[in-house]
Amino acid sequence: MAMFESHAAPEPLQPLQAELEALAGGGVEPEPAPAQAPGSAEPLIVFDNVSVGFDGHSVLENVSFSVGRGETLCILGRSGVGKSVSLRLLMGFLKPDSGSIRVEGQQITGLDEEGLRAIRKRVTMVFQNGALFDSLSVRENVAFPLRERGGLADDQVDRIVDRLIGLVGAEDVVDALPASLSTGRKRAVAMARALAAQPEIVLYDEPTTMVDPIIARRLGGLIQRLKHQLGFTSIVVTHDTRFAQMLADTVLFLHQGRAQFFGPLNGFLASADPEIQLFLALDACVKPQE
């Protein structure tokens, strides 16, 4: 089965989330969370005047943005402007030199490793290379977060893993090792593993790098389904404006370490800012007007 290709209607994702939560909670299905429109409450994620640098070189300078529950933020910009650094700050892999980062009101910049582990149960990241365990098969990689969490019998883990692998269309490579997979397949398996961790927030670091446009579109479609059917909050780092247009509620455009633009997608596309216009023109492979 080719990744994401199916002529049947996609299976609803909500039962998957309910099954994950019910099994993790000992078989008692939780009350469903009340529906909440994006932007209808306090932001889930807030960066407030965040700065960070390395070896005397400023990477981010007083960058501020926020992400509402259920929203998708796309971070755009040229290489080396701090897009991926923003994700690593949110995961607690890096600490800012100044400013604050909050997740649902909780300041994370001063947390110790134990506090960060609690945050990482709610926030998961899909890395560019997939970050899969080379010595584990696809099935074992997806099962890893479930086994780490504990509390599930082997048959329960197997049932959840089968559904996650089916969701990303990887049934034909369940016993394969990551080294044998294409870049697109690795990213899809990494997304399945991220789902197994039962996150609230999913971070995607350049998901379309080194994949062809067809695979990029399929990955984008899966990210959309996770948002609309499971209500995930997402941050997607990308240099691809076409991909961003598929996904973004809001856009953060970074230029020379600063937030050159933060706002709705349509505002970004219509911006008269010369740097934004140049970025859009270059991305479209269209020479800008003199």
Assess whether pLDDT exceeds 70 at residue 289: no
The tens digit of pLDDT for each residue in 29-61 reads 333 343 444 444 689 999 999 999 998 889 999
The tens digit of pLDDT for each residue in 171-209 reads 889 999 999 988 888 888 888 888 888 888 999 998 888
Q: Which of 176, 173, 163 is nearest to 134 (CA)?
A: 176
**Residue 290, helix vs strand vs coil:** coil
Of residues 286 and 168, the one with the higher pLDDT is: 168
Please tell me the class of the 42-122+200-290 domain. Answer: alpha beta
Cα separation values, 194 from 171, 200, 202, Å: 17, 10, 8
Q: What is the pLDDT of residue 2?
A: 45
Cα(83)–Cα(254) distance, rounded to whole angstroms?
7
Q: What is the pLDDT of residue 6?
A: 38
How is 194-247 classified by DSSP, letter by letter?
HHHT--SEEEEESTTTTS-HHHHHHHHHHHHHHHHHH--EEEEE-S-HHHHHHH
For the chain, the C-alpha Rg in angstroms (whole number) is: 19
Q: What is the pLDDT of residue 236?
A: 96
Domain boundaries, the chain: 42-122+200-290, 138-198
The tens digit of pLDDT for each residue in 89-123 reads 999 999 999 999 999 899 998 899 899 988 988 89
